[in-house]
Structure 1
């Protein structure tokens, strides 16, 4: 089955005590739009990002989360989670987001996107959902979704196919990076093989490996 975009979501301004931005504003509340949106190198046009120190940047211009993984959380929490509920720009269907290889390239609509890193859960995420232990539960589930950099700008809309057009041979996946940095330090050496992984994460892996001896 060909993967596709189930929804394209844009953040709205949310003011709350749990918002991570110094001004108390967050863009984690992302809502589906009806038509295509333009994805640029620095992010999705019309998307609000509150805390730019930790969100946005070329290495995480777009965030994708799988509809199937969201379905698991719907059952786990006993609540309906609409597209955008994870703060994702792209809700995907029939795309193995956790199994995506670092550096893998996706043709999505007119845009060309590249898988860069997993999402790290934060207190803003837990506050938005109103689930105090969400970080612990999200980490244990280890289905973090993927950040993407933009290699070619273009419009992307609901229903557009998601086609993997290039996949690096090293095979290091989003899931492996997440588990290596949070749950399974024995996987850290694998991260050094992924040349397209942001250098900050690779350097952190080197430091941890040195500390482990």
Structure 2
């Protein structure tokens, strides 16, 4: 492992736990509204203790146990949508953990981290749904996250542990031939364009052999 990879680490500046709420005109149940926590939380294969994840088809479960969003991305969102700048604050997009210094361009699919006392592995980018748009009251949030490749990423849990704000996250291992989280979106958008042109394939749209990528994102 190269020296710069060994130094890939950060402090957990924000730890956020979802509460059961509703969103949208149909009052759909959601856990996107997170509150900051100073408590110590248990980590197991389903995520952080106390964190509500309502629709496990798109959030939560073993492949989407914990959501990490870089705090730096909020500045990009403020630039893209300045009239909403006061709303773009860490924790507001629905993340569980917030850091400075780990970006989608630095972190690779399949990277293994020590998170507090747990061991986790990057499984996939977040694919933002309509709830993100409704939360901010703007129809363009999800498309900005995807087109700018600033959606953050999910972890699967390899070893249970504990986490609290101020703990560290440190890269332990990187798979051979891995690619950055941000690159998944480039592949995704290319495949979407190809599908629009040819209308010959369906399903998730990315490469089948990206090491560590969750099955629901594989393209076959």
Instruction: State the TM-score, normalized to the length of structure 2.
Output: 0.82
Correspondence list, 1:30-49, <5 A: 30-49=34-53
Give the match for residue 209 of structure 1: none
Q: Shift in Å at residue 85 of structure 1?
A: 0.9
Task: Note if 1:111 corresponds to 2:118.
Answer: yes
**Partners of 1:191 and 1:176 in 2: CA distance:** 11
CA distance in 1, matches of 2:78, 2:31: 21
Q: TM-score, normalised by structure 1?
A: 0.85
The reply on whether 1:184 has 2:190 as its aligned counterpart is yes
- Equivalent positions of 1:121-160 (< 5 A) are 121-160=128-167
Q: Deviations over 1:145-168 (max 9, x none)?
A: 011000111111111111100011
Distance 1:177 1:59 in 2: 16
2:24–2:131 contact (8 Å) kept in structure 1: no
> Is 1:56 matched with 2:72?
no
RMSD, matched Cα = 2.3
- The superposition leaves residues 52-89 of structure 1 with CA deviations (integer Å, 9 ceiling, x where unpaired) of 22211101101000011123223433224332211111
Asked if 1 retains the 8 angstrom alpha-carbon contact of 2:18 and 2:34, the reply is yes
Q: Please, which runs of 5 or more residues in structure 2 have no aligned partner?
A: 1-6, 194-203
- The 2-side partners of 1:133 and 1:47 are apart by 27
* CA deviation after TM superposition for structure 1 residue 8, in Å: 0.7
Once residues 207 and 18 of structure 2 are traced to their aligned partners in structure 1, the CA distance between those partners, rounded to angstroms, is 31
Deviates further, 68-77 or 43-52: 68-77
Length, aligned pairs only: 200
Match of 1:76 in 2: 80
Please give the per-residue CA displacement for 1:103-145, whole angstroms capped at 9, x wherever unaligned. 1101111011100000111111110111122222222211110
Q: 1:97·1:145 contact (CA, 8 Å) conserved in 2?
A: yes
Aligned mate of 1:15, from 14, 22, 43? 22
